[in-house]
Amino acid sequence: MEDCAPDCPSPYSRDEANSTSRIREPCVNEPRIVLLQSIPYAGHGVLGVAQWPDHVPFKVHRTFYVYGAPEGTCRADHAHRKQEQFLICLAGAVSFEVEHRKGKLSGKLSSPEHALYIPPMCWVRLLINQTATVYVVLASGRYDESDYIRDRAEFETLILS
C-alpha cells in the first residue's frame, strides 16, 4: 500500500483563501477521500467536523473505533454487502487499499482533516502504520454478520456478476 492520489476526486475542495469547504459533485458509489471541516481556535486546538449530509453521505447508525493495535497490524480484509462506512484517522497513520468494481483506491490517512468513504461492495484492507494509531468508523447500519463478505473468492464472484 502506498500514498497516491485517488482515482475519484474528493467531493470537497478547500478554498485556501478563506479556509472553507465547498461541495463538488461526488462520484456515486465509489470509494473516495473526503475533506472534513476543521475549525481552528487560537490557543485552544482545532474542532473537526464530520456531519450528514455535508461530509458523511449517510445517516450514522453505529460508531466503532480501533486503538492499541501494534504497528504492522492488518485490519478489515473484508467487504460489506449493504453497509457504508466512513473512516477517520484521529491519531497516527493507517494505510488503506479499497478494491471496487471499477478499480482500486489506495493511500494513507494520517490526519483527522480527511476521511475515507467506503460504499458497499468494496474489499477493504487496512494497515496500522504507527502503534499510537486511533481511528473511528461511522457505519450506516448496526452490526450484522450476514452483511460481511469475508471470503475473497466470493467477493470477486459477486463484483464480476
**42 three-class SS:** coil
Q: With respect to residue 42, please indicate whether it lies within any of the assigned structural domains.
A: yes
Q: With respect to residue 1, please indicate whether it lies within any of the assigned structural domains.
A: no
Q: With respect to residue 52, please indicate whether it lies within any of the assigned structural domains.
A: yes
Number of residues that make up the chain: 161
Q: With respect to residue 128, please indicate whether it lies within any of the assigned structural domains.
A: yes
Q: With respect to residue 3, please indicate whether it lies within any of the assigned structural domains.
A: no
Which CATH number covers residue 120? 2.60.120.10
pTM of the model: 0.82
Cell of 41: 481556535
Contact 138, 50 (CB under 8 A): yes
Check residue 9 and give its pLDDT: 37
Give me the number of domains the chain comprises: 1
Q: With respect to residue 67, please indicate whether it lies within any of the assigned structural domains.
A: yes
Q: With respect to residue 138, please indicate whether it lies within any of the assigned structural domains.
A: yes
Cell of 19: 479556509
Check residue 18 and give its pLDDT: 37
Q: With respect to residue 83, please indicate whether it lies within any of the assigned structural domains.
A: yes
Any residues with CB less than 8 A from the CB of 143 and at least 6 apart, and which?
62
- What is the residue range of 106's domain? 12-160
pLDDT along the chain (161 residues), means of 10: 37 38 53 95 94 95 97 97 98 97 95 97 98 97 98 94 82
Any residues with CB less than 8 A from the CB of 64 and at least 6 apart, and which?
136, 137, 139
Check residue 15 and give its pLDDT: 39
